[in-house]
């Protein structure tokens, strides 16, 4: 088989998936090293633009913990965490908003536009997209999603724009909140009844024993995932990703996936191949 026929075969095998997801909304949580490494960033964004051009409706949701910490240090403020959660006083919240809704968000938007897409950057403050409430007093302006107002997203998708959403939300009194981007992605997917929620992380997926790579789990039910959280087989940063998948599934999202964003074109492999990659969480 020569190189040209291999390329043709790839396109033919992709056709059923292009047909299946044409016109469908796909929510992608973008984070980890795929946001920091410039080559990976370009690869991910190029995949999103390709999805858009074959008729899908991608929404990109992002956080940016390392960028927040770096900006805090530049401004002479040391990051502080309690149980892995960032303590966010009023000054820190200003920095979070500058880093996420400003630098990170507009950087992603610029790359999408350079590659031929039409991206619009949003925070939860735009059109009250993400309304949040305080979680724990000790953490300051750290919030959880109270309500998603998706009209601005549906309007943008209808007019062929790619929404890029940062994890800054608004409170009922107009205050800003720092909200976990995984949870936001799950809530948006549920609200829009997306065809897929794809969580990009820095590992291939979920293992029953992370130290033993032969225990990789390609498909996991919600009930088993809950048990694995209780027994700490799913722990730390993987917990909000799994919780986001559960939220999405409860909102009639068809498929949820946790994939390795450090693998080039992992998005395309998940969407356009028979086997996909990563761990799929099912009802």
Q: Is 107 a catalytic residue?
A: no
The answer to whether residues 182 and 29 touch, using CB atoms and an 8 Å cutoff, is yes
Q: Which two tokens stand for residue 44?
A: 């991910």
Q: Is 29 a catalytic residue?
A: yes
Q: How far is 168 from 166, CA to CA, in rounded Å?
A: 6
Q: Which residues pair with 115 in a beta bridge?
A: none
Q: Is 20 a catalytic residue?
A: no
Strands, sheet with 25-30, edge to edge from the N-terminal-most edge strand:
119-122, 162-166, 57-62, 25-30, 196-201, 255-260, 279-282, 219-221
Q: Which of 31, 63, 64, 65 is catalytic?
A: 65
The answer to whether residues 115 and 157 touch, using CB atoms and an 8 Å cutoff, is no
Q: Is 121 a catalytic residue?
A: no
Q: Which is nearest to 122 in space by CA: 72, 76, 188, 33?
A: 188
Name 178's Cβ contacts closer than 8 Å, sequence gap at least 6. 86, 88, 92, 93, 96, 141, 142, 143, 167, 168, 169
The answer to whether residues 206 and 258 touch, using CB atoms and an 8 Å cutoff, is yes
Q: Which of 41, 57, 125, 241 is catalytic?
A: 241
Q: Which of 117, 182, 186, 261 is catalytic?
A: 182
Q: Strands 219-221, 85-86: parallel, antiparallel or unpaired by DSSP?
A: unpaired
Residue appearing with tokens 């305080």? 134
Q: Is 125 a catalytic residue?
A: no
Q: Which of 29, 41, 57, 125 is catalytic?
A: 29
Q: Which of 31, 32, 124, 278 is catalytic?
A: 32
Catalytic center residues = 29, 32, 65, 182, 241
């Amino acid at each position: 088989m020569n190189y040209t026929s291999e390329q043709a075969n790839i396109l033919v095998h992709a056709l059923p998936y292009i047909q299946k997801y044409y016109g469908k909304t796909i929510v992608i949580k973008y984070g980890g090293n795929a946001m920091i490494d410039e080559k990976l960033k370009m690869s991910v964004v190029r995949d999103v633009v390709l999805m858009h051009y074959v008729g899908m409706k991608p929404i990109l949701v992002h956080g940016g913990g390392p960028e927040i910490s770096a900006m805090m240090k530049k401004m002479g403020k040391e990051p502080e965490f309690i149980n892995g959660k960032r303590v966010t006083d009023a000054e820190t919240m200003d920095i979070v908003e500058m880093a996420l809704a400003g630098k990170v968000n507009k950087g992603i938007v610029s790359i999408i536009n350079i590659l031929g897409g039409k991206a619009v950057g949003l925070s939860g403050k735009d059109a009250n997209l993400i309304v949040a409430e305080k979680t724990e007093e000790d953490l300051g302006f750290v919030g959880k999603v109270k309500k998603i107002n998706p009209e601005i997203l549906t309007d943008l998708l209808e007019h062929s724009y790619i929404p890029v959403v940062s994890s800054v939300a608004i409170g009922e009194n107009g205050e800003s909140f720092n909200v976990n981007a995984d949870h936001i992605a799950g809530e948006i997917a549920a609200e829009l009844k997306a065809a897929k929620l794809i969580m990009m992380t820095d590992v291939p997926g979920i293992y029953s024993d992370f130290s033993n790579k032969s225990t990789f789990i390609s498909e996991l039910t919600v009930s088993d995932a809950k048990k694995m959280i209780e027994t700490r087989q799913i722990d730390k940063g993987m917990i909000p990703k799994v919780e986001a998948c559960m939220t999405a599934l409860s909102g009639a999202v068809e498929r949820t996936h946790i994939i390795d964003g450090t693998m080039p074109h992992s998005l395309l492999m998940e969407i356009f191949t028979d086997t996909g990659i990563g761990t799929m969480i099912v009802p």
